[in-house]
Structure 1
Amino acid sequence: MSRPTAGTARGRRAPLALACAALGLVSVSLLSGCGIRATSVPVDAGAAPSQVGCVLPDGRESPEAGDGVSVVRVYLVCGSRVAPVEREVRMPGGRSSAERLPVARKLLEELKHQPHAMEESAGFETAVPEGLTISAAGRDDPDEALRLSTPLDELPSFALAQIVCTFADTAAADADNGVVIGGPGEDGDQGGEDGDGGKGDGKDPGGSSVPLQRFECGTALRNSPEDAESAGTRV
């Protein structure tokens, strides 16, 4: 049997080298068959994509209360959750039920405002519709109830989460920091439409049999605001 000449061997190795080069980016295991040692060192694919921190810069000046101005937490949308920012707001004082409607209206106005430049740069935005209004309990509602001008199932879920978490632990909430809220009463009228001064009796003269729900601003609601509509319990 004749031995292959050197030229013949080189001729056979050339296609093999080309095949290995073609497979170089396909599989490490295939490369080992081409005489190239596999390595366990990971390939540097660049830095991981950055995520919005939902945190305002450390260098900013913190809001200060005084002269009738309170520092309040307003919950805004950031990414897939809602998170608080602090704002200076001229608020009615106290936690009495008499202050519930004025406080709720002030907070709702803050939620409807577009985020400040620094808040926007940190990734914050609002989902609360500009035309949304709020009124006090209807004639047949519990005193701690509040009614929105839009039914809850028509309100963006992120907006509902913003409202609940912003109202919690304020005079707009009940004694246990829950928020009892619903859409307009059955007759479509809203009670307590007494202007920004909040001087009316806050009761709807008509019926209000549209169900109310009680919400709490827990971790689940803050992290999964898309489920806000089903997070409440019927009152």
Structure 2
Amino acid sequence: MRSRTPAGRSLAVLAGALALAGSVTGCGIRTTTVPVNAGDAPSRVPCEVQEGNLTTQAQPGVTVRVYLVCASELTPVERAASLPAEKGNSDPVRVAQALLDELLEQPSDTEREAGFTTYVRGPLLVSEVRAGDPPGTLRLSRQPEDLPTAALAQIVCTLSEGAATDGSVVLGGPGTYEARGYRCDDDTKRSPESAVPTTGPLPSAS
């Protein structure tokens, strides 16, 4: 028997392919190149933590609001901080440290799934004011201007709500530089990577 020529083999392969296509069509199955629409992909609302799902760093305490970064903006998140119930009458340095500790804490699984993150990194401590500091000054263990802009924005917005009432906070560092007033406004919350605005001249210490 003579072997098939290359042309004969090609015709045989083509005939087999046509026969297979015919059998598929005969079974009621039609080939298509149009993608199948399986519906919209599952979606969730970002930057939102379910009510009552609080992250507790240590023992249950009072509910506080801290600002985390989500979708390139600052968004408040409720946390259960280790503070006595009478936090309003507590030492302001202790309150500020508790708030900073919450910012230093990495987001919980629930917060992370919702898109939250924090740019505040430790160590970061709050110390007592110095002689000559304006009233309400909080001294940090790192110079505020040396912190990442987004981290400073988180700190300013968190402390201005948790340790002050006028939307601003006076911060200083460990060095000899004078303390400066920082303000948390809507622009800061919308764009934490931009420079954090400062306040006007600070009142002198009495």
Report the TM-score, using the length of structure 1 for normalisation.
0.59
What is the SS of the residue equivalent to 1:56? coil
The letter for the 2-side match of 1:61 is G
Question: Does the 8 A contact of 1:138 with 1:185 survive in 2?
Answer: no
1:181 matched to 2:176: no
Q: Which residue of 1 aligns with 2:78?
A: 86
Matched, 1:136 2:128: yes
Residue type at the aligned position of 1:180: V
**Which one-letter code corresponds to 1:120 in the other structure?**
R
Closer, same or farther in 2 for the Cα pair 1:127/1:52, shift >3 Å? farther
Conserved? CA contact 1:77–1:83, under 8 Å: yes
Partner letter of residue 49 of structure 2? L
Structure 1 partner of 2:13: none
After the TM superposition, which residues 77-116 of structure 1 pair with which residues of structure 2 at under 5 Å, given as runs? 77-92=69-84, 93-96=86-89, 99-116=91-108
Is 1:216 aligned with 2:153?
A: no
Q: Specify the alignment match of 2:52 in structure 1.
A: 61
In structure 2, give the amino acid aligned to 1:103. Answer: V
**Contact 2:124 2:142 (C-alpha < 8 Å) held by counterparts:** yes
| 2:128 pairs with 1:161 | no
Match in the other structure for 2:199: 233
Question: Structure 2: where are the runs of 5+ without partners?
Answer: 1-39
8 Å CA contact retained: 2:157, 2:167? no
Contact 1:160 1:228 in 2 (8 A): no
Aligned residues, how many? 157
Unaligned runs of 5+ in 1: 1-46, 187-209
Give the percent of matched residue pairs that are identical in Structure 1 and Structure 2: 41
> Are the equivalent residues in 2 in contact too, given 1:52–1:79 (CA < 8 A)?
no
Give the secondary structure class of the aligned counterpart of 1:163: helix
- State the Cα distance separating 1:62 from its structure 2 match: 4.8
| RMSD across aligned positions (CA) | 2.7
For residue 88 of structure 2, what is the amino acid of its counterpart?
A: R
Q: How far off its partner does 1:52 sit?
A: 7.1
